[in-house]
Amino acid sequence: MKKYLYKGREMVKMLRVEAGEQVYLRTESVYDAPRQTGEVVVKAVVMENGFLDLSGIIKIKKKANLAEAFLRQKVLLVGKNSRAEARPELEIETDEVKASHAASVGRVSEEEIFYLMTRGFNRNEALDLIIKSFLGEEDEE
């Protein structure tokens, strides 16, 4: 299993878990001083028989008042038998903070594929485009 560990408060990670691959990715964001802000975004697609174990934690320590922290994990299960585990965690030890996380796991919608196919792409090309745009976008909001 491939393993990645990233530490930091500002990160954008894009990942493609290839067919048959197993990947573990963890992000750790520690807030330990006042007024720190940060945002971590992890986006991944998982191909056939691939497995992604995605873990991420935001820790806000006692001294880190006025912290603003965000973690987003987005996973697209593309291939057959692709699997994922998403564990976004928060540990907050003080009160004047804003901390949130969001995780989603889903698949490519048939509608998106259909739309592209009506525009002349074949199924594989359409899927490829969707994956590329999913990983390519920095952040949709």
Question: What residues line the site for other proteins (CB under 8 A)?
Answer: 62, 65, 75, 77-107
Measured from the CB atom, is 97 or 116 closer to other proteins? 97
Measured from the CB atom, is 2 or 107 closer to other proteins? 107
Least distance (Å) from other proteins to the CB of residue 25? 14
Q: Report yes or no: 52 and 21 within 8 Å, Cβ to Cβ.
A: no
Tell me how far apart the alpha carbons of residues 16 and 131 are, in angstroms, rounded to a whole number. 9
Measured from the CB atom, is 104 or 122 closer to other proteins? 104
Least distance (Å) from other proteins to the CB of residue 131? 14
Measured from the CB atom, is 94 or 119 closer to other proteins? 94
Name residue 14's beta-bridge partners.
Answer: 43
Least distance (Å) from other proteins to the CB of residue 120? 26
Tell me how far apart the alpha carbons of residues 137 and 135 are, in angstroms, rounded to a whole number. 6
| Strand pairing class (68-77; 98-106) | parallel
Q: Report yes or no: 1 and 24 within 8 Å, Cβ to Cβ.
A: yes
Least distance (Å) from other proteins to the CB of residue 60? 8
